[in-house]
Amino acid sequence: MTLLLGCIADDFTGATDLAALLARSGLPVSLRIGIPEEKRRRDETAAFEVIALKCRTSPVDIAVEQARQALQWLREAGASRFFWKYCSTFDSTANGNIGPVADMLMAETGATQTIYCPAFPENGRSVFMGHLFVGEQLLSESPMKDHPLTPMRDSSLIRLLTPQVAGPVGLANRNIVSKGPTALRARLAQLGDDGIRHVIVDAVGDDDLGTIAAASFDMPLLTGGSAIAGQLPRLYLEQGLVTLPQHQQALPKVTGGAIVLSGSCSAMTRKQVANYAGKVASLRLDPIALAQDGATAALEWLGRQSPDTAKLIYATAEPDDVRRAQERLGREKAGQVVEDALSEVAREAFRYGTRRFVVAGGETSGAITQALGVTHLTIGPEIAPGVPWTFAAVSGEPIALALKSGNFGGEGFFSDAFDLLEGA
């Protein structure tokens, strides 16, 4: 099938989020973990190829180089249009990596202008007058202000992006977007004439996303959250660039033990952990203890549990506890010891017969997926908007993985996930 859009995501949960929304169209989506080692014949690609990187908090030069390699693979596979996917809460440090990667992709693709649209109204993320809202709160007043790796203390996307890119940042506000694609195209052209290559675009509802997609459809590079990309398949179908396949891909039936592994400390994940911990055997990991003693205690606890019953192992904690661990260990090490421990647990759980994994947190999802040796995922049904079940093979055995971004899903997400899988 013709490769319509090559996508690069800055973390693994974001990649599955993007793949899920593209897959709603019924068109085939391929999700690859890390930069693929094998070359791909152009007649072997899906309509949408998504490459999941683990570069959201990497040093800028490493993130840019990984994205460059992903772009090269997608180009060789036949892509001529590209999408740079980052979180709907615009997670980044003051130095990047959203802007530096976008600058590189623009230079490589010849794009003279691109848009930035992280809005995901279905999940409560909206952009108004260039400011990002989480629900009814400004980003800087939401729980994201306490994110352990990328604390978001400013809601202005213009102020956040400007230090990260070459040249000024412009705005196409909601008043323009509400007038439709023609008016928005004119605004983008005006900004381009003024030398503004980077444009924040407001969106407060799905209708806005439809307008934005129609107005920016021909750009060689688009950037944003998954929701704006989710509008593109409809346009491809309407323009006759692709047709729906006659038969949908059959998904495997996965049985075996079930486990939730949570490294996210987001407000919603804390609620989800509290909800699930009262229903199943659970173990909380302490980063300070992990730094001293490793994952031995967690592995011994896992070995004492029945492999057939659901269980939960988590490092999810309140912001004050996270700060204490970071002050004691340093921010990077506090996160790394958790990722390393949960990766060991995942490998051991698989050895015990666990085949159904729910993983909470972008960095955690990346570490565990790599630890299991997963390189390719098939997209299954959505548990919540932007969070699908995915399927892979590990040592020849089928497994099911749900990779959940921190704040996605409702309080009962973990139970809902396994209920959906068992009913599929």
Q: What is the pLDDT of residues 200-243, one digit of tens each?
A: 999 999 999 999 999 999 999 999 999 999 999 999 999 998 98
Please give the pLDDT value at position 337. 96
What is the reported pLDDT for 424?
58
Q: Residue 147 has what pLDDT?
A: 83
User: Is the CATH number 3.40.50.1360 carried by domain 5-238?
Assistant: no
CATH of domain 257-423: 3.40.980.20
pLDDT value at residue 225: 96
Tell me, yes or no, if the two domains 5-238 and 257-423 fold the same way.
Answer: no
pLDDT at 130: 98
What are the tens digits of pLDDT across the range 363-417? 899 999 999 999 999 999 999 999 999 999 999 999 999 999 888 899 999 999 9
Computed from CA positions of residues 189, 194, 199, 202, in that sequence, does the dihedral angle turn out positive or negative? Answer: negative
The list of the chain residues with pLDDT below 70 reads: 1, 39-43, 424
Write down the pLDDT at residue 42: 60
Rounded CA-CA distance 159/195 in Å is: 18
- pTM of the entire predicted model: 0.87
Residues 40, 312: Cα–Cα separation, whole Å: 38
Domain boundaries, the chain: 5-238, 257-423
